[in-house]
Amino acid sequence: MGKKQKVVLPPELPPDVPLEDVQVSDEDVQFVAANEAYAGFLSNMDTRNITKHVTRVADLKEDALEAYYASRRRRKSSENEKENMIEVAHKDALPVKTPDGQLYYKTTPKLQPKPEGENDKANEDDWTVKSVVKLTKAEKRAKNKKARKEAKKQVKDGAEVEQDLQTSQADVLDEVKKDLSAEEIIEKKKYKLAELGTTLLADPERNIKSLREMLDISKDGNQEVVTLALKSLLAVFRDIIPGYRIRLPTEKEMEMKVSKIIKKMRLFESTLLSSYKSYIQKLTALEDQSVYKRVAVRCLCTLLEAAPHFNFRQDLVAAVVRNLSSQDDVLRKSCCAALKYIFTNEAKHGGEATLEAVQLIANLVKSHNCQLHPDSIEVLMSLVFDEDLGKSEKADQDKRGKKFKKGKNNEEKNKLTNNERKRSRQESVSKTREEVEVDFRSASLGKDAAESRRIQSDTLSAVFQIFFRVLRHTLQSSSLQGASESHPLLAPSLKGIGKFSHLIDLDFMADLMNYLGKLAGGGVNSSDSENSAKRLTVTERLQCCIVAFKVMKSNLDALNIDLRDFYVDLYNLILDYRPGRDQGEVLAEALKIMLCDERQHDMQRAAAFIKRLATFSLCFGSAESMAALVTLRHLLQKNLKCRNLLENDIGGGSVSGAIAKYQPYASDPHISGALASVLWELNLLAKHYHPAVSTISLNISTMSAADNPVSYSMLSPQQAFAELSLEQELSKGTNNSSISSGKKKKSGIPATFQVNTDMVDEIDESEVRKKLSEHFVVLRDISENEKLRAELEFTSWSLQLYDQYKKHKKRKSKAT
């Protein structure tokens, strides 16, 4: 084998050291200075060509370097373009002169050779390339002709563009001028309205023709101008309308010769009446437009309040009643306020406007099938009738009968004593007296008693027609199966019947009580009444009971109706009451009217209500409990034998005679046997969290059968409910917290229900907290027990399934 060759490795490169870390020593400097010949090649290097392609250039920042590369790229592209472009012949195109004085001629790209197989068609865009080639005379003429046509076309297009620009600028200027002129016109119309209104108010008779100009301005298309014109006309009409009704002269009266003053007055009245009619027609037409509806309706309401005696009152009343049940709260309130003003100020129109409005409301209720807003009936509560409306008619008839008898007797005497001449003289005197009386009535400002009585009777009949229609519709709609229609007018109708019950004719009283009994659920033998009562709310059924007792109380002398069914309804409705759903004020009113008024109750009925009210007091809040306990105390004071319920003996104390067994679930208080029970609820109510409830409970429980029926100073159920309602308790709490002094405010609770403040603080801090904590602990334990019981049932069920599975598996193994 040959000898192995020795491999010589190159020397290792020095490590890379950054330039910042390189340090030049003095020895290096001396060596370079001594051997300059070795470094002479550096002076002959072409640094420009070397730095031409480098990525970085010394002494240049990043922004400057980017600008440098961009300029170099543009320079290269321009050089390439110059190489590929050739100048156009000087005779074919004009040169361009730069600001420095240099001339530049147009260039065109060189003609590139086409590949084989392509057609040698000449492109229209390359006509400049062909100019390099020598053309014939015919081709030159055709080219020059084509160039001239294109130049003319360019000139024409430029002219059209300039013309379009000029027209667009003119249109913009016209629009701006129109806007400015429209604003000026609007301002001028505003000033014109102010001027016309001022002149009219200064001298209406002389400037009455200005009304037509104002009406013409109100026909403008601008919303602001129309609104301002309507309001200005309203202010003018309110001031210039006279206090009488205008009657235009007839044709015969126009033919008669009259003075200048009468002519001027006739012109004023006719112009005013025609303008007023046009204004009302304008307002009624604007009702259909949503933009002007509020302004139009409010102007109509204001006109009705200002001039109910004037012409075209029927149109105003019809428009106001038409918007009485509007969904817009502003319009509805304006219409209600206008009608209330008409009802309470009958001296301005003599009651005729009231009669018209009530009859229109009756037609509105009929046409809408009793589905209107409750305010349309609430407005009738402001009506005022004479208390002796029915009695005065009978008195007038008696007076007329007496006068007729006296006149008859006088005539007989005259026949016997006087001759025919005296008789004729008396007849002439009586005729003249009658004529004088008629003229005096027509000229006098006072109302005729008979006419006003007739208007009030017609108004009252229209009002009760509305109320009875609502009751009949409610009864019919509630008796239908599956009917879920609401009754928005029932509550205000019942309220109105209760208010005007003393004016109801006795012929309709039986039907009214029948309707109320069915609506309240009092018809025992009628299945329809029970169905209707189920579809009505507890509050509405309680209101029916209240109205029945009000009617009975106001007509006590003329009616002989048994109210037992209404007591049965109240007895059942007490437990159907729910605080969040029903109105506590209505329940308190029912307890006051039916149980607390001066009325002697049957012992069985009184005992049943005492027991039911004690049970009710345990279930609901402090306000309801207080109203019920006040009623309970009143019943115990009125019925001495019922105080045996306070005894602890079996059988309800020492009541003599046979006692029926107590039936707590009975629906009739007369057969409940409450005398056999004991008021054990008072013992729990004595520990009530509210001090007033606990105090009155202790006060009732200390009452005995031997005590005399002393008339204690106490509140009514309504006052007790109001005193302890949630809203008043919160307001009292905020007022007491704002007082910094040690003086405490007196409560509205009477002295019999007052307790020590130390006791209240003690209950609030310790007793109430303890009771609530125990209550929540019990609830939490119940919920936890329910969870544990469910888990236990689930675990036991799973274990049973597992046992069944094991048994099934064993059977399979044995079988195999």
- Residue pair 321/253 in contact by the 8 Å Cβ criterion: no
Q: What is the mean pLDDT of residues 257-277?
A: 89
Q: What is the pLDDT of residues 394-422, one digit of tens each?
A: 444 444 444 444 555 555 555 545 566 66
Kindly state whether residue 145 falls inside one of the protein's structural domains.
no
SS3 at position 108 = strand
Q: Are residues 305 and 219 in the same domain?
A: yes
| 51 or 516, greater pLDDT | 516
Q: Which of 61-65, 356-360, 752-756, 765-769 has the lowest mean pLDDT?
A: 752-756
Q: Which of 536, 561, 586 marks a domain boundary?
A: 561
The burial class, CB within 10 Å (0-12 / 13-18 / 19+), for 278 is middle
Q: Are residues 532 and 402 in the same domain?
A: no
Cβ neighbors of 88 (< 8 A, separation 6 or more) are: 105, 106, 107, 108, 128, 131, 132
- C-beta neighbour count of 434 within 10 angstroms: 10
Kindly state whether residue 129 falls inside one of the protein's structural domains.
no
Q: What is the mean pLDDT of residues 38-66?
A: 65
Q: What is the pLDDT of residues 357-374, one digit of tens each?
A: 999 999 999 999 888 999
In the block, tokens 């014939």 appear at: 136
Q: Are residues 198 and 262 in the same domain?
A: yes
pLDDT above 60 for 735: no
Q: Which of 336-350, 680-694, 702-716 has the lowest mean pLDDT?
A: 702-716
Looking at the 3D structure of the chain, how many domains does it have? 6
Q: What is the mean pLDDT of residues 111-125?
A: 48
Q: Which of 103-107, 470-474, 721-725 has the lowest mean pLDDT?
A: 103-107
Angle at 250 between CA 247 and CA 256, to 5 degrees: 115
Q: Are residues 481 and 606 in the same domain?
A: no
| 75 or 342, greater pLDDT | 342
Query: Residue 435 phi/psi, 5° resolution?
Result: -65, -40
Kindly state whether residue 332 falls inside one of the protein's structural domains.
yes
Angstrom distance (rounded) from CA 792 to CA 504:
70
Q: What is the mean pLDDT of residues 252-274?
A: 88
Summarize the chain as % helix, strand, coil (round to 5): 70, 0, 30
Q: Are residues 609 and 691 in the same domain?
A: yes
Which 8-state DSSP code applies to residue 386?
A: -
Task: With cut-offs at 50, 70 and 90, classify the pLDDT of residue 469.
Answer: very high
Tell me the C-alpha to C-alpha distance, in Å, between residue 38 and each of 42, 379, 471, 757: 9, 123, 129, 117
Kindly state whether residue 536 falls inside one of the protein's structural domains.
yes
| 207 or 780, greater pLDDT | 207
Tell me the C-alpha to C-alpha distance, in Å, between residue 674 and each of 567, 603, 607, 702, 707: 15, 10, 6, 20, 21
On the CB side of 93, how many CA atoms lie within 13 Å of its CA?
Answer: 16
| 183 or 592, greater pLDDT | 592
pLDDT above 90 for 711: no
For residue 103, the cross-strand partners are 97
Domain that holds residue 369: 184-389
Which 8-state DSSP code applies to residue 599?
A: -
Q: What is the pLDDT of residues 579-617, one digit of tens each?
A: 888 888 999 999 999 988 866 788 888 889 999 999 999
Q: Are residues 338 and 360 in the same domain?
A: yes
Q: What is the pLDDT of residues 296-306, one digit of tens each?
A: 999 999 999 99
Angstrom distance (rounded) from CA 348 to CA 447:
11
Kindly state whether residue 136 falls inside one of the protein's structural domains.
no
- What's the whole-model pTM score? 0.63
Q: Which of 561, 589, 616 marks a domain boundary?
A: 561
- Residue pair 543/497 in contact by the 8 Å Cβ criterion: no
Of 126-140, 588-602, 724-738, the range with the highest mean pLDDT is: 588-602
Q: Are residues 414 and 501 in the same domain?
A: no
SS3 at position 526 = coil
Which pLDDT score is estimated for 812? Answer: 81
Q: Are residues 294 and 343 in the same domain?
A: yes
Q: Which of 459-473, 662-676, 779-793 has the lowest mean pLDDT?
A: 779-793
Q: Are residues 219 and 348 in the same domain?
A: yes
Q: Are residues 727 and 626 in the same domain?
A: yes
| 276 or 131, greater pLDDT | 276
Which pLDDT score is estimated for 422? Answer: 67
pLDDT above 90 for 342: yes
Angle at 662 between CA 657 and CA 663, to 5 degrees: 140
* Helix ranges, 418-482 (H): 420-443, 449-479
Kindly state whether residue 383 falls inside one of the protein's structural domains.
yes
- Residue pair 91/105 in contact by the 8 Å Cβ criterion: no
Kindly state whether residue 629 falls inside one of the protein's structural domains.
yes
Kindly state whether residue 567 falls inside one of the protein's structural domains.
no
- Taking the chain, what is the end-to-end CA distance rounded to the nearest angstrom? 85
What CATH number is given to the structural domain containing 291? 1.25.10
Q: Are residues 266 and 289 in the same domain?
A: yes
Of 38-52, 87-101, 505-519, the range with the highest mean pLDDT is: 505-519
Cβ neighbors of 65 (< 8 A, separation 6 or more) are: 56, 57
| 713 or 200, greater pLDDT | 200
Task: With cut-offs at 50, 70 and 90, classify the pLDDT of residue 121.
Answer: very low
Q: Are residues 43 and 69 in the same domain?
A: yes
